[in-house]
Amino acid sequence: MRILVTAACAASLFASAAFAAEDPAAVARDFQARASNGGLAFEIVRSLTTEVGGRLLGSPGDGVAVEWGERKLKELGFANIRREEVRVPNAWRRISERAELVGVTRQNLRIAALGDSPSTPEKGFEAEVVRFPSLAALEAAAPGSLTGKIAFIDTHTRRARDGAGYGEAVVVRSRGAPLAAARGAVAVVIRSIGTDSHRFPHAGLASWGQDHPPIPIGALGNPDADQLARALERGPAKLFLDLRTAVAPATSYNVVGEIPGDGSSDEIVLLGAHLDSWDLGTGAIDDAAGIGITVSAAKAIAERGAKPKRTIRVVMFAGEEIGIKGALAYAEAHKAELPKHVAAMEADFGAGPVYRVTPDPSLPAALQTSLRSALAALKVEAGSAKAEVGPDLGPIHAGGVPTIGLALDGTDYFDVHHTEDDTLDKVDAVAIAQSSAAYATAAWLAATHPEPLKRGTSGESN
């Protein structure tokens, strides 16, 4: 209790001392009005998805996206715009894919090869399918029991606002192939990690252990997985699979731009989202939405008049989908500068709205308080646990950079995530404006906070 009172006093003291006693809620309302007026976040999503479309690292779209990113930051008046190289030795791509349920007729099933899947043998092959209702059931299968067969891992993804159901299910994508290979399987098909009931397979990265050579792995849309499960209820079933994929070295770039600070401009408040996308759709919710939210938030700060003392840096990360390649490169390239990264926010969970704020406990208590009270004006609740750290902030967070978690409502996110259906029409213009305002508010408060924001020292007041 004493701590809270102290924090509140400190907040009001610093606020009145330094920035003419800005009411945090008024800051949020101001950014909400700016975000709603003109709808820049939505317009950025429209521009990226229309002009570029899909942009998997290594595809032509990825190169066009980097040019788009630089051009867009320039158009919007950002400073210090640059591209920072990200090299990938084995950028994967799909060439073609076909799956058929073989019975009296051959029924086409919609399949997508998962990222890094090798090709099936030339012209495909047919094999018997063995269904496992869970990864645990596959783990319980005896060695050699799948020799020459296709393992079908049939796990459903639970819908949840915070994406917890994805976390539970996605291990099927990462651990399914090595477990099946260890038991002799020649290929794996999984029920897509997704919450919709449409015939869209959900792409995503697979992985293999060191013990067995990689085997082909693909995902079926939920209705197709239902169909395969029903066929297997009636008796043995075979699948025909023909997946063609390839890999090649590729280079991409993190695209960076800044709204320079005034006074402590060497201190950085980072706003990040990823520029790449899976190849099937146009990457609207994943992650043009994040690009729209963060770029529009920084632009709103620039337009507000008074320069914040710290620099706002927007980073459009490369290659998030294929293993946070850009984030790893950024952390490495900016290693020396990381202590100057005083706060970081990421938007990579759709268009919003933002429903919860969770500042890193190492941030000054007064800043935490003003973040919570400002965002309450946008109907954002205060999180009680540790701040969620998005994928692209992982490496710099591990390097000591404190984050401000802004949770985007992901209730419908896994309906279209990584599918062909990830297109502009799935982005809600009202929701993304609120998200833009929430990010702008948080970045503004961090960039203008009067106390020092030094990692491991300013946090001591907690």
111, 101, 322: which is closest to 200 by C-alpha? 111
Closer CB to a second copy, 109 or 150, in the complex: 109
User: Which window, 44-52, 141-149, 205-213, 401-409, contacts a second copy (CB under 8 A)?
Assistant: 44-52
Asked if residues 152 and 130 have their Cβ atoms less than 8 Å apart, the reply is yes
- Among 227, 294, 368, 436, interactor with a second copy by CB under 8 A: 227
Number of residues that bind a second copy (CB under 8 A): 37
Asked if residues 398 and 327 have their Cβ atoms less than 8 Å apart, the reply is no
Closer CB to a second copy, 120 or 222, in the complex: 222
Rule CB under 8 A: which of 196-215 touch a second copy?
197-200
Binding flags for a second copy, 307-346, as an x/- string (CB under 8 A): ----------------------------------------
In sequence order, which residues have a C-beta less than 8 Å from that of residue 103 and are 6 or more positions away? Answer: 231, 237, 238
User: Which window, 56-64, 249-257, 370-378, 427-435, contacts a second copy (CB under 8 A)?
Assistant: 56-64
143 by Cβ neighbours in 10 Å (0-12 / 13-18 / 19+) ranks as exposed
Closer CB to a second copy, 68 or 355, in the complex: 68
- Among 23, 29, 81, 223, interactor with a second copy by CB under 8 A: 223
162 by Cβ neighbours in 10 Å (0-12 / 13-18 / 19+) ranks as middle
Return the SS3 of 38. coil
In sequence order, which residues have a C-beta less than 8 Å from that of residue 265 and are 6 or more positions away? Answer: 309, 310, 311
Residue 262 found at the interface with a second copy (CB under 8 A): no
- Is the preceding peptide bond at 178 cis, omega within 30 degrees of 0? no
Closer CB to a second copy, 232 or 302, in the complex: 232
Instruction: Give the per-residue SS3 of 59-128.
Output: CHHHHHHHHHHHHHHHHCCCEEEEEEEEEEEEEEEEEEEEEEEECCCEEEECEEECECCCCCCCCCEEEE
Instruction: Give the per-residue SS3 of 398-447.
Output: HCCCCEEEEEECCCCHHHHCCCCCCCHHHCCHHHHHHHHHHHHHHHHHHH
Binding flags for a second copy, 284-303, as an x/- string (CB under 8 A): --------------------
Closer CB to a second copy, 345 or 427, in the complex: 427
Asked if residues 379 and 24 have their Cβ atoms less than 8 Å apart, the reply is no
- Among 8, 64, 182, 205, interactor with a second copy by CB under 8 A: 64
User: Which window, 37-45, 146-154, 192-200, 324-332, contacts a second copy (CB under 8 A)?
Assistant: 192-200
User: Which window, 73-81, 229-237, 401-409, 434-442, contacts a second copy (CB under 8 A)?
Assistant: 229-237
CA distance 241 to 381: 48
- Among 74, 90, 128, 230, interactor with a second copy by CB under 8 A: 230
At 197, list the tokens.
């009931």
Closer CB to a second copy, 37 or 108, in the complex: 108
User: Which window, 52-60, 123-131, 316-324, 346-354, contacts a second copy (CB under 8 A)?
Assistant: 52-60
Asked if residues 280 and 54 have their Cβ atoms less than 8 Å apart, the reply is yes
- Among 250, 256, 345, 424, interactor with a second copy by CB under 8 A: 424
b/e per residue, 413-425, with b = 16+ CB within 10 A? bbbbbbbbbbbbe
Return the SS3 of 348. coil
Helix (H) or strand (E) holding 188: strand 187-191
Rule CB under 8 A: which of 127-166 touch a second copy?
none
Q: How far apart are the first and last CA of the chain?
A: 12
Closer CB to a second copy, 107 or 207, in the complex: 107
Asked if residues 293 and 439 have their Cβ atoms less than 8 Å apart, the reply is yes
Binding flags for a second copy, 384-423, as an x/- string (CB under 8 A): ------------------------------------xx-x
Rule CB under 8 A: which of 88-117 touch a second copy?
101, 103-108, 110
- Among 3, 17, 37, 60, interactor with a second copy by CB under 8 A: 60
User: Which window, 121-129, 157-165, 221-229, 368-376, contacts a second copy (CB under 8 A)?
Assistant: 221-229
> What are the residues binding a second copy (CB under 8 A)?
46, 49-54, 60-61, 64, 101, 103-108, 110, 197-200, 222-223, 226-227, 230-231, 234, 281-282, 420-421, 423-426
